[in-house]
């Protein structure tokens, strides 16, 4: 086990990101698990914490298998995994149905976590995107593409663990990629945590409240 829990992963990532403190970065977490990791980084770097809502678009018969991802925004960003779509023989109607369902979940989370709070503008800023790990990388790739459209000065991806193949595919989407553990044998993100419980809505809200003063920038 590489990490005790998400807090431990966040503390260790914060140490690796210490050089960014003087660049006044914005820490962008991918809910839900990424929020716990990102909060530790935001605290250590004295940086504002914000969220970017992204949902995996899973194959109907195998929801854990990503055939794409959707990212929140005025014009939602949708990334398709063509190989999975073809292999699973997913029709456009089936894809759209799952996409619409995940869009509704994004809206629910936005209202639940943020209410009427506004997102921090990312144009011209150093942006550090944080999740609790990378598996296939589909959701992270979608998030990075959406943020890149906002014109950040520098886009950084920081994750505790991920497989080499997925990280290599993400490298072209960022200016810098920091990953603490790149195991030879990757089974799942949770395999590298001693404690990897599902994060509840209540936990996310509590973390945001604690970090609320850093969301004002």
Q: Residue holding tokens 């779509």?
A: 85
Mark which of 71, 94, 113 sits at the end of a domain: 113
Tell me: do 41 and 126 sit in the same domain: yes
pLDDT value at 150 more than 50: yes
Least confident interval from 14-28, 67-81, 158-172: 67-81
pLDDT value at 37 more than 60: yes
pTM above 0.75, yes or no: yes
Rounded-to-integer distance, Cα 82 and Cα 130, Å: 25
pLDDT band for 216, please (50, 70, 90 cuts): very low
Rounded-to-integer distance, Cα 212 and Cα 215, Å: 5
Would you give the end-to-end CA distance of the chain in angstroms?
36
Q: In the chain, how many domains are there?
A: 2
* 1: in domain: no
Rounded-to-integer distance, Cα 167 and Cα 75, Å: 26
Q: What is the pLDDT of residue 79?
A: 86
pLDDT value at 1 more than 80: no
pLDDT value at 15 more than 90: yes
Tell me: do 121 and 193 sit in the same domain: yes
Alpha helices in the chain (DSSP H): 6-16, 33-45, 82-87, 92-113, 138-148, 164-171, 201-210
Q: What is the mean pLDDT of residues 163-190?
A: 94
Tell me: do 130 and 191 sit in the same domain: yes
């Amino acid at each position: 086990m590489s990490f005790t829990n998400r807090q431990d992963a966040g503390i260790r990532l914060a140490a690796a990101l210490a050089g960014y403190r003087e660049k006044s970065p914005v820490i962008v977490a991918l809910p839900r698990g990424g929020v716990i990791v990102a909060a530790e980084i935001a605290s250590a770097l004295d940086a504002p914490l914000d969220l970017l809502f992204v949902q995996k678009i899973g194959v109907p018969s195998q929801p854990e298998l990503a055939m794409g991802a959707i990212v929140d925004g005025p014009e939602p960003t949708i990334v398709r995994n063509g190989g999975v779509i073809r292999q699973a023989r997913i029709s456009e109607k089936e894809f759209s149905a799952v996409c619409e369902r995940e869009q509704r979940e994004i809206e629910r989370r936005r209202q639940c976590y943020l209410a009427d709070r506004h997102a921090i503008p990312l144009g011209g800023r150093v942006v550090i995107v944080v999740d609790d790990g990378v598996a296939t990388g589909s959701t992270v790739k979608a998030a990075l593409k959406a943020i890149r459209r906002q014109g950040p000065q520098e886009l950084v991806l920081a994750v505790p663990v991920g497989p080499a193949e997925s990280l290599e595919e993400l490298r072209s989407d960022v200016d810098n990629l920091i990953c603490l553990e790149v195991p030879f044998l990757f089974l799942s993100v949770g395999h590298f945590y001693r404690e990897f419980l599902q994060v509840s809505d209540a936990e996310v809200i509590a973390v945001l409240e604690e970090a609320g003063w850093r969301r004002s920038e």
